Structure 1
């Protein structure tokens, strides 16, 4: 079945729930067993109701749905996207290991590798995500993980994931990929050599700006290791949140399609603005990563970047402070549009980022794109007036 059908059918079984379309919310801490043998035989694992912290059928329904959409061997839910990053690294790395990280990853990923993992005795290096050969040059015999994100956080470069995966696997390293931007619908990581994926399900999978969640998927061979590592950290997610994520998945296909179409329309409009030096959107034919995006991705989301022509911080603030439809907030992926200033140059160590002027990150929500461009037009008027 195709993705549009899968998102409406996965993770639910009306025949097992008195014909009710949606699965119930099943809360639990203690699980009772009828015999000593059944008590001792119930080991925590996928679909096994053993103790509330390990999950209930509501949890397992969400994990099954996401794993199937992703093409993975299994999935585990955790409390946030950052939690998914930390749990994955702790499950796969130990003292004396080395991790190679793309230089354009989400900044909290860098905080994890440079902070927590360093304290745990794990070394790290960064590489140019546009030069796969750098992975070959920087990989060590103790490298266990190569960590990727495509498009890159804030700057939206497209990485040749398959080429990097081939190099990593030739040296015995696993490939971890953050698939939050594209979701399981628009990028199929296991078709490109990825071993583990991370999702901030707070974003598009949750979709309504009211949910904190992370999801880790993996090949079948790695699933037990990751699930055990997450259980060792005592991570769990409420069944209410899992139910909300399942409910949101039902509309993921139609929501993401609208985010993509409106995002491209707004991005094309921005390309014609004199205040804009560059639009960082891989679905635009003018983008340097467009050919790779077109080869590997099935679509685009509503998140992209803008580089303005030179403008003062006061002028940028004048533009952003009085936006009517674009809010300012640190998340994205919900139904509402967002616009914030960004500073990619502060999060680079292996590459240089030299923008023409201030950088903005834009998330195009589900509003009418004509209303959004009108809001941006008024913002640009304030920018010019304050310059």
Structure 2
């Protein structure tokens, strides 16, 4: 009798621990790491079946791996999609998805505010391949509608947006897209499926930089594409050609990180909200951008489509670039490092980070000011973080 559990109906805390048991091959409690580039077939018929099956987990690791299969079960369960594809990075997931779904002569709609590498795909890469891109203000649903053309094939969303924490009305955009047959892709990295489930709001493809919250420990690089079986088959064809492969070790680390995602996010959500409220009261702060604050222009929208507000805070220091640099340098607990979503708090002076890869015009379009700070809140005690933030602000 098969006693392996099925994930349907599980709450998130149970799902992340048990959703992959249905594809487990042995009795080990901790999953094995399959460090094999290739897998043996028993005969010619099985080899033909392996070679012709989309996303087969035991044929060739560029196509799939048993650990990939286990991770995909968990992440697809969290996002409420039929399946998921694992990639070597978040940008691997985003670039693979976009390039798989558009071609020369197509039109794409994206936001003016996106993660910088996503913005570069829109500004620089797609036009080289004959794909037109229109950037719209994400807070204006009407701007999305006005931008739609007969050849619009894809709309790219990111909410909350990196690094400005601007929120997109996901359901309103998907309602525009569905009747027209336009595919909607959403980057859910900042929110995580614990706080927001874009597929339930009508999104066709949900992508993540799993390097961030899904992994949660700053020790891996990975991406995830969550979607239907039909779209996954289309995207997978491009994926195996581009070769953004997730290593078995990183897949294993990601699976381990996912086991604690719900409990980590509960603490991170609470810490971030408390710190956002604290920072808003400090005289050295010009503005705090956090969807959980009533002062956020889209707080009511965030409450409708999010169950928690996440661990990312953007803040503007009074003064300019130099004052902001002094604040960041004076912090002790948050580490001055790129990335986000791990157990350790991280902080970056956004203008310094983005300035190395974006033009001044691109930064202006993305809303990045010289006094902007991106703060990824971790699992440290909130009072210790408050004390450290306070002492650093005294040096501005």
> TM-score surpassing 0.5?
yes
Distance of aligned partners of 1:312 and 1:300 in 2 relative to their CA distance in 1, 3 Å threshold: closer
Residue in 2 that maps onto 1:116: 125
Give the TM-score of the pair, scaled to structure 2: 0.91
In structure 1, runs of 5+ residues without a counterpart are none
Q: Where does residue 151 of structure 2 map in the other structure? A: 142
Partners of 1:163 and 1:248 in 2: how far apart? 33
Task: State the partner residue of 2:390.
Answer: 377
Q: Give the equivalent residue in structure 1 for 2:315.
A: 306
Report what 2:16 is aligned to: 7
Tell me what 1:336 maps to: 344
Q: Residue 244 of structure 2 aligns with which residue?
A: 235
CA distance in structure 1 between the partners assigned to 2:177 and 2:362 by the alignment: 24
User: 1:155-304 residue pairs with structure 2 within 5 A?
Assistant: 155-304=164-313
Per the alignment, residue 361 of structure 1 pairs with 374
Whether the aligned pair in 1 keeps the contact of 2:114 and 2:366 (CA below 8 Å) is: no
Distance 1:102 1:322, change over 3 A: same
> 1:268: how far off?
0.6
In 1, distance between residues paired with 2:191 and 2:367? 23
In 2, Cα distance between equivalents of 1:281 and 1:108: 22
| CA gap 1:362/1:70 in 2 versus in 1, 3 angstroms | same
Could you tell me whether the CA contact under 8 Å between 1:58 and 1:239 is conserved in 2? yes
Any idea what SS the aligned residue of 1:82 has? helix
| Matching residue within 19, 32, 41 for 1:24 | 32
| CA drift at 1:280 | 0.5
Q: Name the stretch that deviates more: 231-240 or 160-169.
A: 231-240
Instruction: Say whether the 8 Å CA contact 1:14–1:22 is kept in structure 2.
Output: no
SS of the residue 1:12 aligns to:
helix
Structure 1: distance between partners of 2:316 and 2:281? 13
Asked if the contact 2:317–2:323 (Cα under 8 Å) also holds between the matched residues in 1, the reply is no
Equivalenced residue count is 379
- Taking structure 1 as the reference length, the TM-score comes to 0.93
2:323 alignment counterpart: 315
Whether the 8 Å contact between 1:201 and 1:212 is mirrored in structure 2 is: yes
SS at match of 2:157: strand
User: What is the CA distance between 1:14 and its match in structure 2?
Assistant: 9.6
The farther-off stretch of 29-38 and 131-140 is 29-38
2:155 match: secondary structure: strand
Distance of 2:338 and 2:102 partners within structure 1: 29
SS in 2 for 1:366: coil
Cα RMSD (Å): 1.9
Check whether the contact 2:109–2:133 (CA below 8 A) recurs between aligned residues. yes
Q: Deviations over 1:314-347 (max 9, x none)?
A: 2222222131111111200111112222248854
Q: 1:15 to 1:217 in 2, by over 3 A?
A: closer
- The match for 2:79 among 45, 56, 70 is 70
**Preserved CA contact (<8 Å) 2:291 2:302:** yes
User: 1:372, CA displacement in angstroms?
Assistant: 0.9
